[in-house]
Structure 1
Amino acid sequence: MAMTDVGALVAAYPSPAVLITSDRRVMAVNEGAETLLGHEGLGRHYITALRQPDVLDVVEQTFGDAKRRVTRYLGTEGRRDTTWRVTASPVPLSGGTGVLLTFEDVTAVEEAGQIRRDFVANVSHELRTPLTALLGFVETLRGPARDDAAARDRFLGIMEREAGRMARLVEDLLSLSRVEENERMRPTDPVRLSDLVSDAVETMRLMADEAELAIELHLPERGVTVPGDEGQLRQVFSNLLENAIKYGRGGGRIELRLTEPAFEPRLRVQGVRLSVRDHGEGIASHHIARLTERFYRVDAHRSRQVGGTGLGLAIVKHIVNRHRGRLRVESAPGKGSEFTVILPSD
């Protein structure tokens, strides 16, 4: 095959590709490879063009025995690290056998695998503590505390709390799974938000009273209706209000505000806003971007003390995404936090 034909084929390849001749020089590079490598590389020795040891090894080995091999290439795209599956294939050329490198972007696959591993590790960690406590108390009740009524009652109370924590974790995991399963399907049933918000407030009123927090509810004069899933939206408002009660202690009040439909630049359509504001300790700015990650906690010890599973805001984010809405968080230490859900009203 003529060199010009080979160069045209490499240029036409949809993924990054590099062709190296038998004299170890780069003969052809397509546009994708130039972007990935950060240079054109034509005429260079492949060692200076590719640089990464794993890729250099498979190229030299393929030159040695003319067998196809696979390795990885680590790149960057802006601030994001990328992972590429590199296949080195022998190619017969007029001047001898060359090596064709093709690059397949497997970043998403790698990230998904890492997410699964992190998820399993986090769930195992969250369950290990209450399970260890339960097993320890069972052993104590069967032994030293068998006839100690006061200790038995105290231990049973702790066991009930730890079992409840595990039950909440399992329920949140199931909720998250259900939301993710249907996230691509936008719900269309009409939901009257005004009534839903009022119901959520009444449900949480006792919890707020125990925390010595007043709930100030501001609703528009006329009812607000949006397309959505009533059960999931109820869960969003309940989770946000529960968080405000748990972490707004000492702030005196919580403010809930629902707006009338208006054009929303973030959605580019008519939309409504529900904001939940507390006047508690607030959150440092470096935590805000990670609040909706699974199991991420600003204060892990305090979160567990108040019964948090670390999944509430992840569930909120996925539900809001399913409704094609936006979640906005504003907070600063000592100034409280405001969580705003923006939902399309059409």
Structure 2
Amino acid sequence: MAETGAEQDGKGQALVARLSRNRWLLGAGVLAVLAVYFFAGVSFYVLVLALVALAAAAMLSKDAGRQPADAGAAIEASGLQRLSGEYLAAAVADPLLIFDHSATIVHANAAAFAAFGGLAPGMSLSLKFRAPEMQALLDGILSGQVAADAVDYTEKLPVERTYRVSASTVGHATGLYVLVFKDQSETRRIDRMRADFIANASHELRTPLASIAGFIETLRGPARNDPAARDQFLQIMQNQTGRMARLIDDLLSLSRLEMKPYLRPGTEVDLRQTIDSVIDSLGPLASENGVVIEREFASGPLVVPGDRDELFQVFENLLENACKYGQSGGRVTVSIAGSEDGQQPGFDVTIRDYGPGIAEEHIPRITERFYRVDVESSRTQKGTGLGLSIVKHILTRHNARLSIKSEVGKGAAFTVHLPAR
């Protein structure tokens, strides 16, 4: 029976191993031959033959060691030859297009179809991507001026997406070229959010600082000897410093939440006890605003996994907003009910006010940092514009979510959906 390739390779490797193990024996044989030559008078030709045999054995060992490496390189080369360009394109997660010297699409991977749609072999890239930067990129590559280039390209429809597009030749003298689209949309969005956050935070801090500086200048000048004006200005300055302190506290809270990794809560929280504590702590604020807080709690145990301090902060923010901005309704209802959200048992905590409500266009953005429905009302109520952002981050850490329902003139309802496990 003929031996397979694997069996032949195994025998070759075994031979190399045996030769390697016998090198010391071969060396010992040479010493023995030399000893016999000197002490027993053996012919010089016998000595030469022994040395030649040893050299041949060493060469055989070296060649046998090289054979597995050469065989591995040959296997790797044959494997790469079997890979087609289509398979390689499919393995790329980013949209990829292969085209020829006339800018006609030869192949598009699945990611390209998902991103751009309507692609087919034979379609002109110049007609598909009409943006000037894409036309310049194609012209530069096809004219041979550059072997590789990259530009930023924005796709407007169906949603705005920003890509870093790289173009290069494929192989040598193949007449084929490749475009790879690296999605930069999320990176750009984060950069824009960071810039907006810095601008908004600077503005929020600059306003009270300018006010305090102006009152200090007035107190040192015209109002130096006016007790009534001095008391009034000092009260305003105290309010402004309190506003800055609240803003800094909220910024620090938001920063701590973002720095924490997502960890599953390791303790259990009694919702009834936690929300009762929140209502008791905000009782003076509710009385000051003429608001009555009503409870509607389900019966039985109301326990969820979570961090009590963080959930306390969530409900405190929501109830405080309801008492401040919904005070015209005269009452706020806090309810807890069981829910089956996506076959997952849990609890819905709803804080509803009966105030002016929120216009529909504001609801998708209301949890953004520094976003305010009514700037003047927010500042009057000593809001920082960060409360709902903090709520959103805490709920994300608890695998929970916030839903908002509102109608102008009929109040607003903020519902926290918490999983029971």
**Match for residue 209 of structure 2 among 92, 111, 131:** 131
Q: Name the residue aligned to 2:110.
A: 31
1:57 Cα deviation (Å)? 0.7
* 1:56-107 residue CA offsets vs partner (Å, 9 max, x unmatched): 21222233323321112222574x31111111113345464x4321111111
Contact 1:20–1:28 (Cα < 8 Å) also in 2: yes
Where does the alignment leave 5 or more consecutive residues of structure 2 unmatched?
A: 1-80
- Does 1:68 pair with 2:148? yes
Which has the higher relative contact order, 1 or 2, with Cα contacts under 8 A spaced 6 or more apart?
A: 1
Q: Within 5 Å, which residues of 2 pair with 1:259-274?
A: 259=337, 262-266=338-342, 268-274=343-349
Check 1:344–1:25 CA distance in 2 against 1; reply closer, same or farther (3 A cut): closer
Amino acid at match of 2:290: E
Shifted more, 6-15 versus 240-249: the winner is: 6-15
Check 1:223–1:29 CA distance in 2 against 1; reply closer, same or farther (3 A cut): closer
Shifted more, 315-324 versus 85-94: the winner is: 85-94
Q: Distance in 1 between matches of 2:93 and 2:417?
A: 39
Check 1:127–1:21 CA distance in 2 against 1; reply closer, same or farther (3 A cut): same
**Match for residue 202 of structure 1 among 268, 273, 280:** 280
Q: Name the residue aligned to 2:199.
A: 121
Q: Distance in 2 between matches of 1:258 and 1:176?
A: 26
Q: Name the residue aligned to 1:332.
A: 407
Contact 1:183–1:321 (Cα < 8 Å) also in 2: no
SS at match of 1:120: helix
Check 1:195–1:12 CA distance in 2 against 1; reply closer, same or farther (3 A cut): closer
1:13 Cα deviation (Å)? 3.5
Contact 2:134–2:153 (Cα < 8 Å) also in 1: yes
* 1:239-290 residue CA offsets vs partner (Å, 9 max, x unmatched): 111001101112121111223xx44224x32211221111111111221121
SS at match of 1:58: helix
Q: Name the residue aligned to 1:296.
A: 371
SS at match of 1:317: helix
Contact 1:22–1:95 (Cα < 8 Å) also in 2: no
Amino acid at match of 1:69: D
1:203 Cα deviation (Å)? 0.8
Q: Distance in 1 between matches of 2:287 and 2:279?
A: 11
Check 1:54–1:41 CA distance in 2 against 1; reply closer, same or farther (3 A cut): farther
Q: Distance in 2 between matches of 1:292 and 1:221?
A: 31
Q: Distance in 2 between matches of 1:40 and 1:253?
A: 58
Amino acid at match of 2:341: P
Check 1:330–1:36 CA distance in 2 against 1; reply closer, same or farther (3 A cut): closer
Question: Which protein has the larger Cα radius of gyration, Structure 1 or Structure 2?
Answer: 2
Where does the alignment leave 5 or more consecutive residues of structure 1 unmatched?
A: none
- Does 1:189 pair with 2:264? no
Contact 1:59–1:99 (Cα < 8 Å) also in 2: no
Q: Name the residue aligned to 1:280.
A: 355
Q: Name the residue aligned to 1:148.
A: 226
Q: Distance in 2 between matches of 1:54 and 1:253?
A: 58
TM-score by structure 2 length? 0.75
Q: Name the residue aligned to 2:320.
A: 242
Check 1:258–1:43 CA distance in 2 against 1; reply closer, same or farther (3 A cut): closer
Q: Name the residue aligned to 2:26.
A: none
Check 1:214–1:269 CA distance in 2 against 1; reply closer, same or farther (3 A cut): same
Contact 1:41–1:49 (Cα < 8 Å) also in 2: no
Check 1:11–1:51 CA distance in 2 against 1; reply closer, same or farther (3 A cut): farther
Amino acid at match of 2:367: T
Shifted more, 217-226 versus 157-166: the winner is: 217-226
Q: Name the residue aligned to 1:343.
A: 418
Check 1:263–1:150 CA distance in 2 against 1; reply closer, same or farther (3 A cut): closer
Contact 1:36–1:75 (Cα < 8 Å) also in 2: no
TM-score by structure 1 length? 0.91
- What is the count of residue pairs matched by the alignment? 340
Q: Distance in 2 between matches of 1:221 and 1:25?
A: 68
Check 1:242–1:14 CA distance in 2 against 1; reply closer, same or farther (3 A cut): closer
Check 1:221–1:263 CA distance in 2 against 1; reply closer, same or farther (3 A cut): closer
Q: Distance in 1 between matches of 2:157 and 2:267?
A: 40
SS at match of 2:327: coil
Shifted more, 101-110 versus 6-15: the winner is: 6-15
Q: Distance in 2 between matches of 1:220 and 1:21?
A: 68
Check 1:37–1:295 CA distance in 2 against 1; reply closer, same or farther (3 A cut): same
- Bigger proportion of residues as helix: 2
1:49 Cα deviation (Å)? 3.2
Identity of aligned residues (%): 42
SS at match of 1:301: helix
1:9 Cα deviation (Å)? 4.0
**Match for residue 323 of structure 1 among 398, 404, 414:** 398
Check 1:41–1:48 CA distance in 2 against 1; reply closer, same or farther (3 A cut): farther
